[in-house]
Amino acid sequence: MASIKVGETIPEGTFKYIPWSEALESQLACGTPVTFTTNDWKGKKVVVISVPGAFTPTCHANHLPPFAEKYDELKKKGVDVIAVLAANDPFVMSGWARFLGLKDKIIAISDVDAAWSKKLGLEKDLTANGMGVRTARYALVLENNVVKYLGVETEPGVAVSGVDAVLAHL
């Protein structure tokens, strides 16, 4: 059960990601992870899409691609930053983003050990599936780091954390 609620300010979090550059078009390039914090989102409208894992079936086929497809609609609603978050390392997140052709539209951030998601009460223990502790499947709409929408999936699949639910709450 989420401990963060609509109307609350998110706790500070620190993430790693590999910014997209043309050099990453090479299959041999890896990029260099950089660090940023949720403080970088202050004063912005941000959509955070949290998935249990890059390249996993539901995340890869049904959750993230619709956000990429409706990128322009999200931007027209005033979204400044779209970020996909998972407990995978930044190199895996970068590889997944490159595979999906996200470039610099959606940043793929690493919530190592689901540390920030734990602060939100939104981690998921998938140890029985051989995946360890991961981020739960959820979506957040933040304005100046205040939660305006929180959609947490309680059943398999994508509904309240999907792009249409997010668009309806922007």
Question: 46, 48, 59, 120: which one is catalytic?
Answer: 59
Active-site annotation holds for 30: no
Burial of 71 (0-12, 13-18, 19+ CB in 10 A): middle
**What are the two backbone dihedrals, phi and then psi, of residue 24, each rounded to the nearest 5 degrees?**
-75, -5
CB 15 within 8 A of CB 37: yes
Q: Which residue type sits at 152?
A: V
Q: In this structure, are strands 138-143 and 146-152 parallel, antiparallel, or unpaired?
A: antiparallel
Q: How far apart, in whole angstroms, are the C-alpha atoms of residue 109 and residue 97?
A: 10
Q: How far apart, in whole angstroms, are the C-alpha atoms of residue 78 and residue 46?
A: 9
Helix (H) or strand (E) holding 63: none
Instruction: List the beta bridge partners of residue 123.
Output: 135
Catalytic residue numbers?
59
